[in-house]
Amino acid sequence: MRIALVAPLAEAVPPKLYGGTERVVSWLAEELVRQGHEVTLFASAESQTTARLVRCAPQSLRLAGIRDHIGSTLAMLREVRRRADEFDVIHFHIDLLPNALFHDLAHKCLITLHGRLDMPDAFPLYEAYPEMPLVSISDSQRGPMPDCANWLTTIKHGLGRGLCPFDPEGGDYLAFLGRISPEKRPDRAIEIARLSGVQLRIAAKIDNVDLEYFNTMIEPMLDHPLIEFIGEINEDEKREFLGKARALLFPIDWPEPFGLVMIESMSAGTPVIAWRGGSVPEVIADGVSGVIVDSMAGAVAAVRTVSELSRAGVRAEFERRFTAERMALAYVAAYRTLLARREALSHAPAPHAARAFRAAPAFIVEPTAAKSVLETPLAESA
């Protein structure tokens, strides 16, 4: 199949540092190529791929210091549009702009929504451009979205089998990995460790925006013999860090749309103790790949029992549900669904696309003033 993947320009694909979306796009691109598809990747110039790369920005925008990504993204989308005939399917990993710019090609397009969707700012867009097929990365991610959203399917992220190798031994500490921020609740992780008397190692970066939270809330909690803050770690250190842990703590307090670190941990064979919320019940098989808890008492109890879970069983659950191969196969199935729909529509009496757009009732046309504001003082016109 001839597949276009359109990545964010914020980071390279794969990213040189962070960038969850760009990492997933990279894994998907490589796996689709491996499965024999003809893949074209639209991404920033320093991306590395076995697919055909269309360089759409001379450098990743974050490294280039470009804050407003709209101009560069719209420029990329013109190039995608210019080549649209070269592809059977165009798979976007950026949202909002493709809905508006490709709605007339919606029959061969889909958008994976990578972020949280509980911000109403974007809802008018989905109401105005309801044609575009959308893919969620968990079912729970869909919750806040308006009814008009045109969901095609849910496809959970997948990881290459070798990226976080299985460690049959594990270790004895609890691991917290990711970002220091209020919604990730590192404070809960520390409390769990203290109450259960088990060592906690925290490997996390601190964004500027979270520096005050770290300084005032977290740093004072670190002065305890069981707590070790090791800061930011690289990908090599991460494999060791996850593989040698007793369990990963994932005590989130926000509607996590997916949570890549959970499947990285599962890949290493390390079970996850996770707070119920967002995608957690869809990612963790309770009692197989981890323990889902709702309270501090539950979390402390889980620390005691989690070692009873088979690490091989955790890895098997990863292999069954969260490999990049499985993710790519699911996307290919979604692409084929689109192609089949298009085929069916080409034989139908009236085009589906023409019916799909419902004029939003907000657009009312009428004059609102009998006299002009031009010659009256401004105060009266307000």
Question: In the bound complex, what is the minimum distance in angstroms from residue 119's beta carbon to a copy of itself?
Answer: 7
Question: With binding defined as CB under 8 A, does residue 50 bind a copy of itself?
Answer: yes
CA proximity to 57, closest of 70, 111, 49: 70
- Give the nearer residue to a copy of itself in terms of CB position, either 89 or 101: 101
Question: In the bound complex, what is the minimum distance in angstroms from residue 60's beta carbon to a copy of itself?
Answer: 12
- Give the nearer residue to a copy of itself in terms of CB position, either 231 or 287: 231
Question: With binding defined as CB under 8 A, does residue 35 bind a copy of itself?
Answer: no
Question: In the bound complex, what is the minimum distance in angstroms from residue 56's beta carbon to a copy of itself?
Answer: 7
- For 3, phi and psi rounded to 5 degrees? -120, 130
- Give the nearer residue to a copy of itself in terms of CB position, either 240 or 282: 240
**Residues of this chain, 324-363, that bind a copy of itself according to CB under 8 A:** 324, 357, 359-360, 362-363
In the list 4, 5, 24, 51, the residue contacting a copy of itself (rule: CB under 8 A) is 51
Question: In the bound complex, what is the minimum distance in angstroms from residue 89's beta carbon to a copy of itself?
Answer: 18
Tell me the site size for a copy of itself, rule CB under 8 A: 88
Q: Contact 72/9 with Cβ under 8 angstroms?
A: yes
In the list 16, 116, 194, 244, the residue contacting a copy of itself (rule: CB under 8 A) is 16
Instruction: Report d(CA 347, CA 351) in Å as an integer.
Output: 9
**Window 257-296: contact mask with a copy of itself (x via CB under 8 A):** ----------------------------------------
CA proximity to 200, closest of 218, 181, 214: 218
Question: In the bound complex, what is the minimum distance in angstroms from residue 62's beta carbon to a copy of itself?
Answer: 12
**Residues of this chain, 103-122, that bind a copy of itself according to CB under 8 A:** 103, 119-122
Residue type (1 letter), 373: V
Per the listing, tokens 């001839």 go with 2
In the list 3, 4, 7, 56, the residue contacting a copy of itself (rule: CB under 8 A) is 56
Question: With binding defined as CB under 8 A, does residue 209 bind a copy of itself?
Answer: no
- Give the nearer residue to a copy of itself in terms of CB position, either 77 or 252: 77
Calculate the alpha carbon distances from 42 to 59, 69, 183 in Å.
13, 15, 32
- Give the nearer residue to a copy of itself in terms of CB position, either 75 or 340: 75
- Ordered DSSP codes for 291-327: EEESSHHHHHHHHHHGGGS-HHHHHHHHHHH-BHHHH
Question: In the bound complex, what is the minimum distance in angstroms from residue 328's beta carbon to a copy of itself?
Answer: 10
CA proximity to 174, closest of 237, 262, 241, 221: 241
- Give the nearer residue to a copy of itself in terms of CB position, either 100 or 344: 100
Q: Contact 236/207 with Cβ under 8 angstroms?
A: no
Q: In the beta sheet, which residues pair with residue 292?
A: 274
- For 38, phi and psi rounded to 5 degrees? -95, 100
**Residues of this chain, 146-185, that bind a copy of itself according to CB under 8 A:** 160-163
Instruction: Report d(CA 312, CA 167) in Å as an integer.
Output: 9
Determine how many CB atoms are found less than 10 A away from the CB of residue 293.
22
Kindly give the residue spans of alpha helices, DSSP state H, lying in 37-173.
70-82, 97-101, 123-128
In the list 3, 8, 10, 47, the residue contacting a copy of itself (rule: CB under 8 A) is 47
- Give the nearer residue to a copy of itself in terms of CB position, either 162 or 225: 162
**Residues of this chain, 238-257, that bind a copy of itself according to CB under 8 A:** 238-239
Q: How many residues does the chain have?
A: 382
